[in-house]
Amino acid sequence: MTRIHTDDDANAEAIRPGPIAIIGYGSQGRAHARNLRDSGHQVIVGARPGGKAAQRAAGDGFEVFAPGEAAKRASFIALLTPDMTHREVYENDIAPNMAPGETLMVAHGFSIHYGQVRPRGDIDVILVAPKGPGDLVRREFEIGRGVPSLFAVWQDASGEARSRALAYCKGNGGTAGGAIETTFAEETETDLFGEQAVLCGGASELVAAGYETLVEAGYQPEVAYFECLHELKLIVDLMYEGGLARMHDFISETAKYGDLVSGPRVINDETRARMREVLTDIQSGAFARDWILENQAGKPRYDALLRQDLEQDIEKTGARLRARMAWLQPGANTKAAE
């Protein structure tokens, strides 16, 4: 059985006295920086001078420096900019400013696993990946809990890399939620597969295909939207809260029987074969090479595919219906709370 590491397994002193440099102040960067500071660590932020991220970090009370200067001042560097920027940021700002024995951390292994970043041999290289968006990571920390995290060691130059990864997990709330040790390969490949085959690619295609099937059969688009997209949240919430068992507890016997006999007709051996193809492309590096080249070309195919995705009829129908759902409007939840 996989071991789940808790606060008792982590020594916060492994990454003190610091400072810790958070390079990139987006959703994850902001959450990590604030959590680590509240855990008693010295934190500085590296961001482009004059940019929105730098202004927000300064507004949150952090000392903000250009990325290279932040790296120079820190003994532990968390690279939390988007994956496709890692190579440039590492080569230009981080590598020249790291001393032997210091630590480079990422929250997703893509750039290192696929060779976009090739770390020097005299530094520790680790991964700490909270399993939730930045807002949730911060919110759970603030109420004394934490979001589960994955951690891994790519390179242990100091002999302390694993201890440093666990210490960072603890400072960010990860060991309160439970931290699981993995590898860069496992974290990267499973994350990409989940996004492509299930969470984003698989789910969105399934929803769109269901909607199109009903509309082509003559049913009203609005009714198709409710049945294939709107109600999906109800099922996902049940599964999130208690797995398949909780879903079965809360749906009708008719829905349950339909699930059991028709689910395998839609997700079948052919579907699983396509999923294995997706996984093979991820494992071989084919997907990574394609995505890297797409970025280098200015993302023309990406832009065209995204535009095509957002121009589907289900998007137009959904926008019209959601405009009538008061609870989805900006500020609705805040007003309700007041």
Q: Is 191 flagged in the annotation as binding?
A: yes
The burial class, CB within 10 Å (0-12 / 13-18 / 19+), for 107 is buried
- DSSP class per residue in 72-100: HH-SEEEE-S-GGGHHHHIIIIIGGGPPT
Q: Is 173 flagged in the annotation as binding?
A: no
Q: Is 298 flagged in the annotation as binding?
A: no
- Per the structure block, which two tokens stand in for 294? 């797409």
Q: Is 75 flagged in the annotation as binding?
A: no
Q: Is 195 flagged in the annotation as binding?
A: yes
Q: Is 140 flagged in the annotation as binding?
A: no
Q: For strand 149-155 and strand 124-130, is the pairing parallel, antiparallel, or unpaired?
A: antiparallel
Q: Is 48 flagged in the annotation as binding?
A: yes
Q: Is 27 flagged in the annotation as binding?
A: yes
Q: Is 138 flagged in the annotation as binding?
A: no
Nearest to 4 by CA among 189, 174, 241, 190: 174
CA angle 175, 177, 181 (to 5 degrees): 55
- Per the structure block, which two tokens stand in for 176? 């309160």
Please list, in sequence order, all residues whose beta carbon lies within 8 angstroms of the beta carbon of residue 18, skipping any fewer than 6 positions away: 41, 42, 43, 74, 75, 76
86, 108, 113, 230: which one is catalytic?
Answer: 108
- Per the structure block, which two tokens stand in for 107? 């929250």
Nearest to 149 by CA among 138, 157, 158, 137: 137
- Per the structure block, which two tokens stand in for 92? 């230009």
- DSSP class per residue in 263-290: HHHHS-HHHHHHHHHHHHHHHHTHHHHH
Identify the bridge partners of residue 152 per DSSP, sorted by sequence position.
127
Q: Is 227 flagged in the annotation as binding?
A: yes
Q: Is 212 flagged in the annotation as binding?
A: no
Please confirm, yes or no, whether 248 is among the known catalytic residues: no
Q: Which residue numbers are catalytic?
A: 108
Binding residues for substrate: 252
Binding residues for Mg(2+): 191, 195, 227, 231
Binding residues: 25-28, 48, 134, 191, 195, 227, 231, 252
Binding residues for NADP(+): 25-28, 48, 134
